[in-house]
Structure 1
Amino acid sequence: MSTDQNLILKAPTPSGEQADKPHANPDTVKSAGQPTSYRADIDGLRGVAVLLVLIYHGGLSLFPSGFIGVDIFFVISGYLTTTIILNAASRGEFSLKQFYVRRLWRLQPAILTLLIVTLGVASLLYLPKDFVDFLKSEKYTSLLLSNQFFSKATDGYATPEAATLPLLHTWSLAVEWQWYIVLPLGLTALTRYLAPHRLKIAVVILTISSIAMALLIAKATPDKSYYAFLARIFELLIGSCAAVFANDRQRLSRFSASALGLLALGVVIYAATRYIPTTAYPGIYAIVICVATALLVCAQVGQSGISSQLLSWPALVFVGTISYSLYLWHWPVIAIITYLGLEKTPAVLAGYFSASLALGIASYYLIEKPLRRVRLGFGKTLILLLVIPAIAFSALHSAGDRADGWIKRFGSAATDILPRLKASEIPQREPCLGGATDGSDSRCVLGLPGAGKRALLMGDSYSNHFWGLVDTLSKDAGISVTAQGYPGCLALPDVYLYDWWKYKHALYKKCHAAATAYHQQIAQNHYDYVIIGLTWDTYADSSAVVWSIDDPRSEALSRERMKAALLKSLEIIAQSGATPVLLKSNIVMPEGANDCLYRTIKLRSTIQEQHCATSVAQPEENPWLAQLFMDAKQAHPNLLVIDPKDVQCTDGQCKLLIDGLPIYRDIGHITDFASKAMGRLYLQAKGNPFKSASISD
């Protein structure tokens, strides 16, 4: 987000009155090379941007794409920082060291305060693994690289796991800092060697090139582009274009300026009310939003149009004045509410908005505003605000990682539950979730390695989370199992998934390739058993299963293709001489179940005090899937079907706990502890299906 608070290097004014005015933070200019004048409309535009972000993160439907407020901030930042440098350079006063000293004292005190306060809150509430992840995010935030960290740590911006990360929003501040490193060097070189009119051409060419690069990045890595500096730099450069063209001789009439300003403001508000996906973003929508923002900040529109009067509303200007602090503090508030699993009732949301505003005001008046005036030397500033914090937070993360997040912070309840869950984790499971191999990786072998009987476990992440169950059954039956899986993939031959997961309006080709490799292994290796584990309901209730990209799509057609693909897979398995095994899904975690159970640890309370449910009514089985399994059994009488619900659910109730520990690690997947426990319970209740198959053979 933009973090300039109308602080640009300006030409001296004879009376000094401008600098003394209450809101005269010299942030914007009349034109490059001219003395600066405060523009309330830019602060008002900041107010619009931060309010869009706050409302969006509050989960209100009013602005489902309120995240575009960050795009607005980037354009404002590009405009202001470019103007700062051009103005100073035109007077022969630009100093790279002083530029960074001002930026550091402008930004870092509030960020460091945020890191310290959130560290205190996270140390009280965040579970060990989550706390270590938080410490890692603090380290990368202090290194000005949090956008790169969150790109790797999350599956995307608007994802459930991202919603509980207190420092997620600092990705935009990292992008800003990367801009501050590139811009002064680039502008200094351009202004030195290019005449003013050539400078404009160069900036336009750079902007168009960066737009093309952003579109390519968004297409190539749709889940990562949101955080990428190279995908965002065009937004800042569009602001630079508004700055370098600020002194054009051609002037707009008041009518034209008003019409353009109202149109641009309308585009921004309208875009915020539409649903814009955060995958493959920024894209065309972002380009339009940024151009509209550039029109609003350019002097010819912003200083003479009606939009300037609207954006100069005092209340909006005040919000814009504190927007940096407000942006910094609002996200940790909502992230912690989400982490605690609190329902976002009107009262909770009112608390979110109130707390965000109070913290933002306090941060602005107690930290941001006073400390921006500090002017130590470049070396001392760098050491105090960057080097020391980076070393401290890096050391803290290392210590926390070695100590497994200091589990004893939570007392006896946590020291009973959390170590038991951790002790049951299967460390080698994750490396085997990502595609087919030839089976030579020993980490992907479970059951009884080297046994005479061999099996292949294939499927999506549900096959992977049932490692413990399959391991228990196969050890008991003396079977060596090679386990492979690919997340979100229907591991059946010939079919593709269209518009699936992160692959919007495209085929998920990696799934098809993985399924092809699995069935080649089956034909070549002649296993004794082939086990297919899938989240069956997810695929059955979709219209995504196709043979090719041009196929018509509907749920009925998708089910027909899924059935045909399953029967073909079973035929390939049977022809290889193996016994086919279908591993059904567990029930999906009821909404909020884990939130409540883990909240008892976070708040040092009990399940009874939090009124947490320990079981839920068993959902009805999907009738189409029930028929599918019957048809498969009829086609292949030796087919084995293993249903984990047989041990999770009894008498119409399904457990949420086993031996006092939560079954689920997220909304769909179970813990390794639960998976192993289900294997033991299955042996006790149903016997070993592999042994039964051997007897019948």
Structure 2
Amino acid sequence: MNFRHDINGLRAIAVIPVLLFHAGVNGFEGGFLGVDVFFVISGFLITANIIKSQKRNDFSLSSFYDKRLRRILPPLIFTLVVTTALSFLFMLPYDLKNFGQSLVATSIGANNVLLYLTSGYWSLASEFKPLYHTWSLGVEEQYYFIIPIIFIAFARKKKNLSFTLVLFFFISFLSAVIIDNKEFNFLMIITRFWELCAGSLLAVYMSEREIVKNSALSIIGLFLIFLSYYNPYFLSGNTAVINLPSVLGTLMVIAFTSVGSLTYRALSLKPIVLTGLSSYSIYLLHQPILSFLRLATEGHVDVNTQLAWVLTSIPLGYLSWKFVETPFRNKNIVSNNIFYGLAGGAFFAFLFIGFFLHKSYGMNDFTVFNKYSYGVNPQAYADRAYTLAQPSFSADGKKMLIIGNSFARDFYNALEENSATNGYEVIYLSDYYLNVSMSRDLLSNADLTFVVSSSGMANVNIDPQVLRGNAIKYKGELDNYSNGNYYYIGTKNFGFNNNFLKQVDWKGSRNYMVDINNSNITADVVESLVFEEKYISLLNLFREGNKTRVFTDNHKFISFDTEHTTKDGAVFLGKEVLMKTELSKIVL
């Protein structure tokens, strides 16, 4: 296949919208679809090269993977080295632990799997993850394990090869249509295979037949790509259908663009080609730049600031392409012994550092981070209440029922740390509506019940009417089935991001106040109006206007993730609840 400048131009119009989308620029709500354009291009080029090598009778897996590794690893290793170094400067233990997990997952080409199993691409926490964008590398690398095997298996049976690719394409596409899980559809190879495979099928077709070039169709292809960037949901909200226009548009540009056509000339402009050549490095660098900017900032970073910073990834990506990517792809400059020695050493170093950060909970107990320490593993501590999940109370003694998700487990810890559960048989119920009959039985037998809200969690705004409706429904259950001795505990929040405190003078930060998320404030107001005297506001315990405390009186973090309490935070929260509300008269 002859070198095509227009495909490098396509890479440029794939990467730039991704940058703009992640910076929050209006008009690029579908900028994430630039990754879909990348997938089609990758499938096409990889397959075209395999076909070319097979026709020369010099195709081998070792040669294939050597080229892939020399293409992927150098800029990735460079990015991981820089990102790892910066993570120690910008991250508190909780995020440092999560970074360690991402470092391991990225090193083995599985960050897409980790993201699916943890927070996901679309969650708020992903904004602060410097490596979350490497999910797409995971998908591509997984494809690279599959596609050459298929071509080797059917090297002499072209019809079977085409049939197999078409079959895999439709299985993957139908999976993406049918599976009703946004995170799974976005991140996993099963529902992404069809996009890369579309490029592969086009490469197979073009290797066997001449496609008549058509300038109008190539322009329509570009139009589909840009339309999907502007309005990704113009056809449907289904993930597969959302991705389809950008995939189809990319196929049309590759298939129908001819040298000298308007599309070719536009995509072959020197700045666009250089951006396309650097697109891989640009893509790798843009997310760490945005993540560390956000980690170092107290609240939300405005769009103009994010845009200014993310655009620096373009010149930096060019430098990476010129001085990292290009030299390492040349065996005359970097021999196999040097390349694989460095790559292997980096791989084991990243695995070691990643596992170390994970197991040490982001160096939680190390002297260098002692002032930022949570004291214990906060996630394990927060989940202690699971041991109290029982289907019924025993016959004798006072009975306490605590209902709710992780915020309810926090509330149990707050009561338990202040001896407010002494003398009670405590049962924890995570989901009231999972088994309503059992829940009502527990409620009717409890002497004291706490329902703990998590509304507004993760800065998610819920329609006030929906909040009110849910609260009224819950109140109906409590009024009808409890003994009337119940309390509805309001939501809580300790800011948007606490990592910025690493950039603040520690000695003067004990009384630092941060903004409460508006989602939590709204939920607090709506639910308090429904439950009235049965409502206890946790926000009001530490609130001054719309700001809240971050630290206990002993200068320890109240929360490890701005929402869930540390052990010190549970002690502090419980003390404040029992001092400033009527619970001291009821519980103690």
> Which interval holds the TM-score relative to the shorter structure?
0.7 to 0.9
Instruction: Identify which of 475, 479, 485 aligns with 1:566.
Output: 475
Q: CA deviation at 1:148?
A: 1.6
Q: CA deviation at 1:66?
A: 0.6
1:322 aligns with 2:287: no
1:647 — aligned with what?
Answer: 541
Q: CA deviation at 1:657?
A: 3.7
- In 1, the alpha carbon distance for the partners of 2:313 and 2:411 equals 42
1:483 — aligned with what?
Answer: 428
Q: Is the 8 Å Cα contact of residues 455 and 481 (structure 1) preserved in structure 2?
A: yes
Using CA pairs under 8 Å that are at least 6 residues apart, name the structure with larger relative contact order, 1 or 2.
2
Q: CA deviation at 1:45?
A: 0.4
Q: Is the 8 Å Cα contact of residues 584 and 644 (structure 1) preserved in structure 2?
A: yes
- In 2, the alpha carbon distance for the partners of 1:135 and 1:39 equals 39
Q: 1:176 to 1:664 in 2, by over 3 A?
A: same
1:629 aligns with 2:531: yes
Partner amino acid for 1:349?
Answer: Q
1:364 — aligned with what?
Answer: 321
2:574 — aligned with what?
Answer: 679
Q: Is the 8 Å Cα contact of residues 614 and 657 (structure 1) preserved in structure 2?
A: no
1:171 — aligned with what?
Answer: 135
Q: Is the 8 Å Cα contact of residues 43 and 317 (structure 1) preserved in structure 2?
A: yes
- In 2, the alpha carbon distance for the partners of 1:652 and 1:223 equals 33
Q: CA deviation at 1:313?
A: 1.9
1:17 — aligned with what?
Answer: none
- In 2, the alpha carbon distance for the partners of 1:160 and 1:571 equals 37
1:125 — aligned with what?
Answer: 90
2:107 — aligned with what?
Answer: 142
- In 1, the alpha carbon distance for the partners of 2:492 and 2:552 equals 15
Instruction: Identify which of 297, 305, 308 aligns with 1:341.
Output: 297
- In 2, the alpha carbon distance for the partners of 1:142 and 1:424 equals 25
Alpha-carbon RMSD across the aligned residues, in angstroms, is 3.9
Q: CA deviation at 1:615?
A: 8.2
- In 1, the alpha carbon distance for the partners of 2:347 and 2:581 equals 56
Q: Is the 8 Å Cα contact of residues 388 and 426 (structure 2) preserved in structure 1?
A: no
- In 2, the alpha carbon distance for the partners of 1:310 and 1:329 equals 26
- In 2, the alpha carbon distance for the partners of 1:613 and 1:247 equals 64
Partner amino acid for 1:215?
Answer: V
- In 2, the alpha carbon distance for the partners of 1:610 and 1:314 equals 54
Partner amino acid for 1:192?
Answer: R
- In 2, the alpha carbon distance for the partners of 1:646 and 1:288 equals 49
Q: CA deviation at 1:175?
A: 1.5
1:60 — aligned with what?
Answer: 25
| Structure with more of its chain in helix, by fraction | 2
- In 2, the alpha carbon distance for the partners of 1:623 and 1:388 equals 55
Partner amino acid for 1:613?
Answer: M
2:173 — aligned with what?
Answer: 211
Q: Is the 8 Å Cα contact of residues 207 and 238 (structure 1) preserved in structure 2?
A: yes
Partner amino acid for 2:177?
Answer: L
SS at match of 1:530: strand
Q: 1:102 to 1:472 in 2, by over 3 A?
A: closer
SS at match of 1:682: helix
- In 1, the alpha carbon distance for the partners of 2:277 and 2:545 equals 61
1:398 aligns with 2:398: no
1:498 — aligned with what?
Answer: none
Q: Is the 8 Å Cα contact of residues 585 and 645 (structure 1) preserved in structure 2?
A: yes
Aligned residues: 582
1:300-449 equivalence runs, <5 A: 300-303=256-259, 305-341=261-297, 344-345=301-302, 348-349=305-306, 351-374=308-331, 384=341, 387-406=344-363, 414-416=369-371, 418-419=372-373, 421-423=374-376, 425=378, 427-430=380-383, 437-438=390-391
Q: 1:613 to 1:542 in 2, by over 3 A?
A: closer
Q: CA deviation at 1:678?
A: 2.4
- In 1, the alpha carbon distance for the partners of 2:242 and 2:546 equals 49
1:513 — aligned with what?
Answer: 434
Structure 2: stretches of 5+ with no match in the other structure: none
Q: 1:586 to 1:135 in 2, by over 3 A?
A: closer
Partner amino acid for 1:234?
Answer: W
Q: Is the 8 Å Cα contact of residues 326 and 356 (structure 1) preserved in structure 2?
A: yes
1:189-204 equivalence runs, <5 A: 189-195=153-159, 199-204=161-166
- In 2, the alpha carbon distance for the partners of 1:668 and 1:612 equals 16
Q: CA deviation at 1:304?
A: 6.6
Q: 1:346 to 1:532 in 2, by over 3 A?
A: closer
Q: 1:439 to 1:114 in 2, by over 3 A?
A: farther
Q: CA deviation at 1:527?
A: 2.5
1:534 aligns with 2:453: yes
Please, what TM-score do these two structures have when normalized by structure 2? 0.86
- In 2, the alpha carbon distance for the partners of 1:369 and 1:111 equals 13
1:232 — aligned with what?
Answer: 192
Structure 1: stretches of 5+ with no match in the other structure: 1-28, 30-36, 441-448, 492-511, 544-554, 634-639
Q: Is the 8 Å Cα contact of residues 12 and 276 (structure 2) preserved in structure 1?
A: yes
Q: CA deviation at 1:334?
A: 0.8
Q: CA deviation at 1:276?
A: 5.0
Q: CA deviation at 1:454?
A: 1.8
Q: CA deviation at 1:228?
A: 0.6
Structure 1 residues 109-151: Cα deviation after superposition (integer angstroms, max 9, x where no partner): 1111211121111122222232232222222222222222222
1:99 — aligned with what?
Answer: 64
1:468 aligns with 2:370: no
Q: CA deviation at 1:664?
A: 4.2
Task: Tell which deviates more after alignment, 660-669 or 134-143.
Answer: 660-669
Q: CA deviation at 1:653?
A: 7.6
Task: Tell which deviates more after alignment, 106-115 or 37-46.
Answer: 106-115
Please, what TM-score do these two structures have when normalized by structure 1? 0.74
- In 2, the alpha carbon distance for the partners of 1:426 and 1:179 equals 35
Q: 1:463 to 1:173 in 2, by over 3 A?
A: same
Indicate the percent of aligned positions where both proteins have the same amino acid. 22
Q: Is the 8 Å Cα contact of residues 436 and 514 (structure 1) preserved in structure 2?
A: no
Q: Is the 8 Å Cα contact of residues 41 and 302 (structure 1) preserved in structure 2?
A: no
Q: 1:624 to 1:247 in 2, by over 3 A?
A: closer
Please say which structure displays the higher CA radius of gyration: 1
- In 2, the alpha carbon distance for the partners of 1:620 and 1:136 equals 34
Q: Is the 8 Å Cα contact of residues 79 and 236 (structure 1) preserved in structure 2?
A: yes
2:125 — aligned with what?
Answer: 161
